[in-house]
């Protein structure tokens, strides 16, 4: 994920630019002449072209010559790409690799991306990784910069209403006399970011959420929750956090920011709104969605339906014998209120990943007896080490001071194909392991079962592959190492009236049981709203098909069903962390905008379904 920010020598910059320019010149010529063999010959045998909407109307990576040929045969004439050129000076990345940020045009839009080339055994420059992304649709550009809205009419105005009056009229009509083109179900950071994008693109849409206010998804979590990702990684579209924003934002502060953001970005947002069912009409090409808006029953008929209900899906609450006889309190980590009401009680936390660690630390900090059950190994990385070694070159203050922007950082990360991303990550986590050896030795000595992923590639790959099995340490690991958080191992066999019993017979006295047992696939929400048939048509959401733990093959090349067309027409999934909500909301919004404007969107490489959940 990282790349060096050390400025290369002027000679290498000039040579790198010459190499990139020469490659792009030949590439442009071959594109113009539609010479697919010549285009393909510009790429290394082992090469990767990752496209975010620009060529494929999909989020798709093609790997190697055969897949590049197939994509170009299907899409080249229709896309009509041209004008590939650098936007910044090329850089020398070492080992014969040079790279550059690029721009280009297609028949319907303008794009940007990233290119890496490297010398082959014959000394010829070949394309290694190419990222192409659609940034705007021609004739449907966002009103920004020189084209920003004027905001006031100087002179006679045929519409004398004020801005506030127009806003009120729009809010009254939307969903009643005017149907939304897009309905976004889920108003957390993902739904809000997408809502802001759609608003700027002029797509009629509504974001609905069951909570009372935007941001309540964060406010309602346990009181000590903070972001584990640093601020530079977490900006939302259009409106970055201010310069004095804390590096790790407390959850209530994030909640307030999301509420503020929703209002300032004029996101059409319906709070206190629950969707009860959604049915797709194949003949009409629209959805019928039944909702309850603060007690008012309504029926909406959007064309496009987006589930932005959280990357992790529904809470996974396990079923154990004896839960019905247990006399204490039981709840999933998603409903944990914090430590205050548990003074003097014994708490057993089932699980050993992010939520389990955070909850256990807060309980111990408040003098509460806590035992954490580790059922399988966990990857742990210290927050400071993550910032310094894994994120520092792209998302940090020093990166900003070296000229790195959020957009360039996002492009750099997006330019690494998932197939080889672990090769970039393994050295990062090898360095972390060496630097923090004493830290890891302490955890191991306490009996904690550690891992660095199946292949040693650490946090990001675990997140991308399975979305679980890790903890970014902000203090809980030390409490495990010194025994303040008691540690037990194994699986839960059953509960008694006042204890949790493990499969080896170990009995853990408990007044409270917290199930920090993760979440299911997002298509669980689809099953609830649309029925199991639709959920099975879509299949599993998230994961790469890496054939590592909890990420079964075959290889997908991209996140399953995220931010792109699915096998269920007009149904989309949007989610992930703040970084992904920011980055991928653009590509989902552009796909929806194109459909709203009637622009043809032939999808190349629609994902097949291999797993149902």
Domain shared by 78 and 127, yes or no: yes
> pLDDT at position 594, please?
98
Rounded to the nearest 5 degrees, what angle is found at the Cα of 601, between the Cα atoms of 410 and 196? 45
Domain shared by 291 and 220, yes or no: yes
Distance (Å, rounded) from C-alpha 340 to C-alpha 363? Answer: 8
Residue 149 maps to a domain? no
Domain shared by 221 and 320, yes or no: no
Q: Which of 484, 517, 550 is the last residue of a domain?
A: 517
> pLDDT at position 5, please?
42
Residue 562 maps to a domain? no
Domain shared by 403 and 476, yes or no: yes
The crossing angle, in degrees rounded to 10, of helices 459-466 and 418-435 is: 140
Domain shared by 326 and 441, yes or no: yes
Tokens standing for residue 554 = 């075959």
Task: State pTM to two decimals.
Answer: 0.94
Residue 605 maps to a domain? no
> pLDDT at position 10, please?
52
Rounded to the nearest 5 degrees, what angle is found at the Cα of 320, between the Cα atoms of 317 and 321? 150
Q: What is the DSSP letter of 63?
A: E
Nearest to 584 by CA among 592, 574, 599: 574
Domain shared by 358 and 484, yes or no: yes
Domain shared by 535 and 495, yes or no: no
Domain shared by 364 and 427, yes or no: yes
Number of domains in the chain: 3
Tokens standing for residue 595 = 């459909």
Q: What are phi and psi of 608, to 5 degrees?
A: -80, 160
> pLDDT at position 312, please?
60
Domain shared by 80 and 109, yes or no: yes
Domain shared by 420 and 458, yes or no: yes
Contact in structure between 402 and 348 (CB atoms under 8 Å): no
Residue 559 maps to a domain? no
Distance (Å, rounded) from C-alpha 16 to C-alpha 6? Answer: 15
> pLDDT at position 170, please?
86
The distance from CA 342 to its chain's CA centroid, rounded to whole angstroms, is 34
Widest CA span of the chain, in angstroms? 83
Contact in structure between 81 and 28 (CB atoms under 8 Å): no
Distance (Å, rounded) from C-alpha 229 to C-alpha 580? Answer: 12
Distance (Å, rounded) from C-alpha 593 to C-alpha 139? Answer: 12
Write the pLDDT tens digit of every residue in 520-565. Answer: 878 888 999 999 999 999 999 999 999 999 999 999 999 999 999 9
Domain shared by 528 and 510, yes or no: no
Class of residue 155 by CB neighbours under 10 A (exposed 0-12, middle 13-18, buried 19+): exposed
Class of residue 134 by CB neighbours under 10 A (exposed 0-12, middle 13-18, buried 19+): buried
Distance (Å, rounded) from C-alpha 491 to C-alpha 505? Answer: 10
Distance (Å, rounded) from C-alpha 63 to C-alpha 45? Answer: 9
> pLDDT at position 231, please?
95
- Find the CATH number of the domain harbouring 121: 3.10.450.50
Domain shared by 295 and 320, yes or no: no
Residue 237 maps to a domain? yes
What is the domain extent for residue 529? 165-311+521-539+569-595
Chunked into runs of 10 residues, the chain (613 residues) has average pLDDT values of 46 86 98 98 98 98 98 98 98 95 98 97 96 98 87 80 86 90 96 98 97 92 84 96 95 96 97 97 96 96 94 81 97 91 96 95 96 97 94 95 96 97 97 97 97 96 95 95 97 98 98 93 89 96 96 96 97 94 97 98 97 90
Distance (Å, rounded) from C-alpha 594 to C-alpha 67? Answer: 26
- Find the CATH number of the domain harbouring 197: 3.50.50.60
Q: Which of 135, 152, 174 is the last residue of a domain?
A: 135
Residue 382 maps to a domain? yes
Residue 143 maps to a domain? no
How far, in Å, are 143, 199, 406, 598, 611 from residue 195 at the CA level? Answer: 16, 6, 20, 20, 30
Residue 153 maps to a domain? no
Contact residues for 442 (Cβ-Cβ < 8 A; gap 6+): 478, 481
> pLDDT at position 324, please?
97
């Amino acid at each position: 994920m990282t790349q060096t920010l050390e400025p290369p020598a002027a000679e290498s910059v000039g040579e790198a630019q010459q190499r990139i320019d020469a490659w792009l010149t030949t590439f442009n010529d071959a594109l113009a002449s539609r010479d697919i063999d010549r285009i393909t010959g510009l790429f290394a045998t082992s090469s990767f072209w990752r496209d975010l909407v620009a060529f494929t109307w999909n989020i798709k990576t093609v790997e190697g010559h055969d897949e590049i040929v197939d994509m170009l045969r299907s899409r080249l004439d229709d896309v009509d790409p041209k004008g590939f050129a650098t936007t910044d000076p090329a850089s020398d990345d070492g080992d014969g690799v040079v790279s550059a940020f690029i721009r280009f045009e297609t028949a319907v839009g303008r794009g940007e991306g990233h290119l890496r080339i490297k010398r082959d055994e014959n000394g010829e420059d070949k394309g290694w990784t190419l990222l192409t992304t659609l940034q705007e649709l021609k004739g449907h550009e966002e009103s920004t910069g020189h084209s920003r809205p004027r905001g006031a009419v100087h002179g006679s105005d045929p519409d004398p209403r004020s801005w506030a009056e127009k806003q009120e009229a729009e809010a009254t009509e939307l969903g009643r006399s005017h149907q939304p083109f897009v309905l976004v179900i889920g108003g957390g950071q993902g739904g809000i970011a997408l809502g802001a994008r759609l608003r700027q693109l002029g797509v009629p849409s509504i974001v609905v959420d069951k909570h009372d206010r935007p941001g309540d998804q964060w406010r309602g979590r346990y009181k000590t929750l903070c972001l584990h990702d640093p601020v530079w990684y977490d900006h939302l579209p259009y409106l970055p956090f201010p310069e004095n924003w804390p590096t790790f934002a407390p959850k209530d502060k994030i909640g307030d920011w999301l509420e503020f953001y929703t209002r300032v970005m004029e996101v059409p947002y319906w709070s206190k709104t629950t969707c009860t069912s959604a049915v797709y009409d194949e003949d009409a090409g629209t959805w019928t969605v039944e909702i309850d808006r603060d007690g008012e029953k309504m029926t909406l008929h959007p064309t496009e339906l987006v589930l932005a209900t959280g990357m992790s899906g529904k809470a996974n609450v396990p079923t154990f014998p004896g839960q019905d006889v247990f006399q204490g309190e039981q709840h999933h980590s998603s409903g944990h209120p914090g430590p205050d009401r548990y003074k003097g009680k014994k708490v057993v936390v089932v699980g050993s990943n992010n939520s389990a660690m955070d909850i256990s630390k807060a309980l111990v900090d408040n003098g509460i007896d806590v035992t954490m059950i580790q059922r399988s190994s966990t990857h742990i990385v210290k927050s400071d080490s993550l910032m310094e070694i894994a994120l520092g070159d792209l998302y940090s203050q020093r990166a900003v001071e070296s000229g790195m922007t959020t957009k360039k950082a996002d492009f750099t990360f997006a330019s690494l194909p998932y197939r080889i991303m672990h090769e970039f990550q393994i050295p990062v986590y090898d360095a972390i392991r060496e630097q923090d050896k004493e830290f890891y030795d302490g955890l191991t000595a306490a009996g904690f079962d550690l891992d660095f992923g199946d292949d040693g590639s650490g946090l990001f790959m675990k997140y991308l592959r399975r979305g679980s099995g890790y903890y970014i340490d902000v203090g809980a690991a030390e409490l495990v190492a010194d025994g303040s958080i008691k540690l037990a191992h194994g699986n839960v066999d059953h509960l008694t009236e006042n204890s949790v019993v493990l499969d080896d017979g170990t009995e853990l006295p408990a007044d409270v049981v917290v199930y920090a047992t993760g979440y299911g696939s997002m298509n669980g929400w689809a099953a609830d709203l649309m029925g199991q048939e639709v959920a099975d048509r879509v299949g599993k959401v998230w994961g790469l098909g890496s054939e590592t733990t909890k990420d079964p093959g075959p290889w997908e090349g991209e996140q399953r069903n995220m931010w792109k067309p699915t096998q269920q027409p007009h149904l989309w999934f949007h989610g992930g962390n703040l970084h992904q909500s920011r980055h991928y909301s653009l590509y989902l919004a552009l796909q929806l905008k194109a459909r709203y404007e009637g622009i043809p969107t032939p999808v190349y490489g629609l994902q097949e379904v291999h797993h149902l959940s």
